[in-house]
Amino acid sequence: MLENAPYYHAVGKEIDVFNHAYKNKIPFLLKGPTGTGKSRFVEFMAHQLDKKLITISCHEETSSTDLIGRFIIKGAETVWLDGPLTTAVRDGAIIYLDEVAEARPDVIVAIHSLTDHRRELFIDKLGETVKAHDDFMLVASFNPGYQRGFKELKPSTRQRFIAVSFEYPESQIEIEILVKETKIDHDTAKKLVAIGNKIRNLTELGLTETVSTRLLVNAAKIIHSGHPKRASVHVAVVEPLTDDLQTLVALKDLCDLMI
- DSSP annotation of 169 reads P
Q: Least distance to ligand ADP from the beta carbon of 133, Å?
A: 25
Minimum gap (Å) between residue 148 Cβ and ligand ADP: 18
Rounded to a whole number of angstroms, the minimum distance from the CB of residue 235 to ligand ADP is 17
Q: Which of 213, 219, 232, 237 binds ligand ADP (CB under 6 A)?
A: 213
Which is it for strands 137-142 and 94-98: parallel, antiparallel or unpaired? parallel
Assess 218 for contact with ligand ADP (CB under 6 A). no
Binding map of ligand ADP across residues 146-175, x = CB under 6 A, - = no contact: -----------------------x------
Which lies closer to ligand ADP via its Cβ, residue 38 or residue 160? Answer: 38
**Residue whose C-beta lies closest to ligand ADP:** 37
Total site size for ligand ADP, rule CB under 6 A: 17
- 47 belongs to the binding site for ligand ADP (CB under 6 A): no
Out of 46, 214, 236, 237, the residue judged to bind ligand ADP by CB under 6 A: 214
- Determine if 40 is a binding residue for ligand ADP (CB under 6 A): yes
Q: Is 181 in the site for ligand ADP (CB under 6 A)?
A: yes
Among 22, 27, 39, 107, contact with ligand ADP (rule: CB under 6 A): 39
The DSSP string of the chain is: --SSPPP----SSHHHHHHHHHHTT--EEEE--TTSSHHHHHHHHHHHTT--EEEEE--TT--HHHHHEEEEEETTEEEEEE-HHHHHHHHT-EEEEETGGGS-HHHHHHHHTTSSTT-EEEETTTTEEEEPPTT-EEEEEE-SGGGTTS----HHHHTTSEEEE--PPPHHHHHHHHHHHH---HHHHHHHHHHHHHHHH-GGG--SS---HHHHHHHHHHHHTT--HHHHHIIIIITTT---HHHHHHHHHHHHHH-
Choose, by CB under 6 A, the member of 18, 21, 29, 37 that binds ligand ADP: 37
* 62 is a site residue for ligand ADP (CB under 6 A): no
Binding site for ligand ADP (CB under 6 A): 7-9, 11, 34-40, 169, 177, 181, 213-214, 217
